[in-house]
Chain A
Amino acid sequence: MATGTEEHAAEGGLAIHPMDQFIVKPLFGDGPVHWYTPTNVTLWMGIAVVVLLGIFVLATRHRGIIPSRLQSVAELFYGFIYNMVEDVTGHEGAKFFPYIMTLFMFIFLANMLGLLPMSFTVTSHIAVTAVLALMVFLTVTLVGFYRKGLGFLSMFWVSSAPLVLRPVLAVIEVISYFVRPLSHSIRLGGNLMAGHAVIKVFAGFAGAMGIASVVPIIAIAGIYGLELLVAAVQAYVFTILTCVYLRDAVGEAHH
């Protein structure tokens, strides 16, 4: 995708091309990007992890009965995610709380840091979100087979449907099971990419309109607020879908 946008920028049009912000660049020099090259993706993933560690390590170093400001932030996140995991996956699923908490905090911080001016949104790349979604898919499949054995396959056989319909439903269920990682990753990546591209399109208008650029600047402020909401909601949606998928693997049969 990166090469396509570079060609596109050369063709002219808007002064600020909306897709340029997603180009992966090496941090040092202009060489080709190999799998081990430190790029801006690596940098901003690292910053997200450092901020995450900062919040949780600093906040819990001097624990008090009366929480400090940072400690209450950490407790708020902890309580919120723990309640979500327990509500959706039940008591058994609470074992997976550390994994889901890590997923949520990483995606949330990557989304939020991506909203800073001049920063890079790691989660707008489908390569990044696809890895996250594939890990969830593998976890759910392996845990399902480990805990239920071949009985895990019974989730494809909808026993509440009429017998004639069941083979048809089984085919649909199998397809929808394997589409899960695709939709799971594209939802996060697509939402973030679209949102950031919209901001840049409006920024391009502001650059071209002279004195009337007040209008797009006000619009950017509004969209920015919306993007803050989207960043939080998409992190929430990604983790709650992880919980819903995990419920299939650990919970009692629902069909």
Chain B
Amino acid sequence: MEGELALLGKYIGAGLATIGLGGAGIGVGHIAGNFLAGALRNPSAAPSQMANLFVGIAFAEALGIFSFLVALLLMFAV
């Protein structure tokens, strides 16, 4: 019984942890959307800012990936 309860908690926890990825989605969308808005106003400056775009997306995404990691840890390591 106790083992089943722990299993239940593990699966519910893993599911809850994936909610954090929604935050990463908001962050990445915000960066990409703002980049596009800026790029349409000044298209000639856009190519020089591609590197900053990807670095920004990578930083925003990393925090979401941490919650994915928590989900994986709960599923396979705990």
Q: Are A183 and B76 in contact (CB under 8 A)?
A: no
Q: Is B66 an interface residue (CB 8 A)?
A: yes
Render A12-42 as a binary contact track against B, CB cut-off 8 A, 1 for contact: 0000000100000000000000000000000
Find chain A residues with CB under 8 A from B63 CB.
183
List the one stretch of A150-158, A203-211, A236-244 in contact with chain B.
A236-244
List the one stretch of A62-70, A104-112, A186-194, A215-223 in contact with chain B.
A186-194
Q: Are A183 and B54 in contact (CB under 8 A)?
A: no
Question: Which residue in A190, A194, A244 is a CB contact (below 8 Å) of B55?
Answer: A244
The secondary structure that dominates the B interface is helix
Q: Are A187 and B51 in contact (CB under 8 A)?
A: no
Render B50-66 as a binary contact track against A, CB cut-off 8 A, 1 for contact: 01001101100111011
Q: Are A84 and B51 in contact (CB under 8 A)?
A: yes
Contact A233:B54 (CB < 8 A) given known A1-B77, A4-B75? yes
* Interchain nearest-CB distance for B41 vs A (Å): 23
Q: How far, in whole Å, are A5 and B62 apart by their CA atoms in the complex?
A: 24
Q: Is B35 an interface residue (CB 8 A)?
A: no
Q: Are A240 and B54 in contact (CB under 8 A)?
A: yes
Q: Are B65 and A183 in contact (CB under 8 A)?
A: yes
Question: Which residues on B are within 8 Å of A, measured CB to CB?
Answer: 51, 54-55, 57-58, 61-63, 65-66, 68-69, 72, 75-77
Nearest 9 interchain pairs by C-beta? A4-B76, A183-B62, A190-B65, A237-B58, A1-B76, A187-B62, A186-B65, A190-B68, A187-B65
